Structure 1
């Protein structure tokens, strides 16, 4: 399993636009074989940071999903929310391998 961690710098005055953007991407990840672990948004105080985590079974599965960027109309529409609203200032993508709790011994 591979988990993509996306760190965002967002415009806090456009949080509703960012939430629409996030909802669209959560659905796309799930529809195309991934598991979305959610977006994590500012909760207390002023902050311009947000984070998303989602997983695919393998890097190859992620790359198959990624191949739809720029060609699939739903992917283009999701990016349009970000581009037209200006809710995302910048983002950084990191790939990680999760170490999950061993539930068999609980």
Structure 2
């Protein structure tokens, strides 16, 4: 299993747009073979940081999912929420291997 951790810097004035963006990506990850562990939004303290975690069975499975970016109309529509609203200032992805209590 591989888990993608996405670190976001967001525009706090566009939190509603970011939530719409997040809901669409949670749906798309699940629809295309992944498990989304959720988005984690600002509550207290820094108001411009958010995180997302989702997993695929392998890097190859993740790459099949990523191949849809820019081509699949649902992926393009989800990205347009981010692009049109400016809710994401920047982001970076980190790939991790989870160690779970059941391991």
Bigger radius of gyration among the two: 1
**Partners of 1:46 and 1:96 in 2: how far apart?**
24
| TM-score using structure 2 length | 0.97
Which residue number corresponds to residue 84 of structure 1?
84
**Partners of 2:45 and 2:70 in 1: how far apart?**
36
For residue 46 of structure 1, report the CA deviation from its aligned partner. Answer: 4.6
Which residue number corresponds to residue 5 of structure 2?
5
**Partners of 2:61 and 2:16 in 1: how far apart?**
30
After superposition, give the CA deviation of every residue in 1:67-94 in whole Å (9 maximum; x if it has no partner). 0000000000000000000000000000
- 1:32 lines up with 2:32 in the alignment: yes
Root-mean-square deviation (CA, aligned residues, Å) is: 1.0
Gaps of 5+ in 1: none
| TM-score using structure 1 length | 0.95
Which residue number corresponds to residue 23 of structure 2?
23
Count residues in correspondence.
103
Runs of 4+ more than 4 Å apart: none
